[in-house]
Amino acid sequence: MVQVNGREMKWRPGMVVEDAIRFADYPEYNDPILVVTVNGVHIKNDKFKETPIQDGAIVNILQPLAGG
């Protein structure tokens, strides 16, 4: 299992950060402005498709909001 924003996601071999983003229901067009950590380590946006997620990982996905 992988924990994504507090929800359990079934782990599978070959899983990458992009899979966790889709599981969390973030639309693809939001990717450039997402902040993602895996086990507390920040993942750069251009690495979402290639950064593996290991079984038992904790993934946090944040979307910054701006306003005035």
Round to whole Å and give the CA distance between 44 and 36: 8
| pLDDT at residue 68, as a whole number | 67
Convert 5-39 to b/e letters by CB count within 10 Å (16 or more is b): eeeebeeeeebebbbbbebbebeeeebeebebebe
Q: pLDDT tens for residues 4-52? A: 999 999 999 999 999 999 999 887 766 678 999 999 999 999 999 999 9
| pLDDT at residue 31, as a whole number | 63
Does residue 20 or residue 65 have the better pLDDT?
A: 20
Round to whole Å and give the CA distance between 43 and 48: 7
Instruction: Count Cβ atoms below 10 Å from residue 55 Cβ, excluding itself.
Output: 11
Provide the token pair at 35: 């902040």
Domain covering 2-62 assigned CATH 3.10.20.30 in the classification: yes
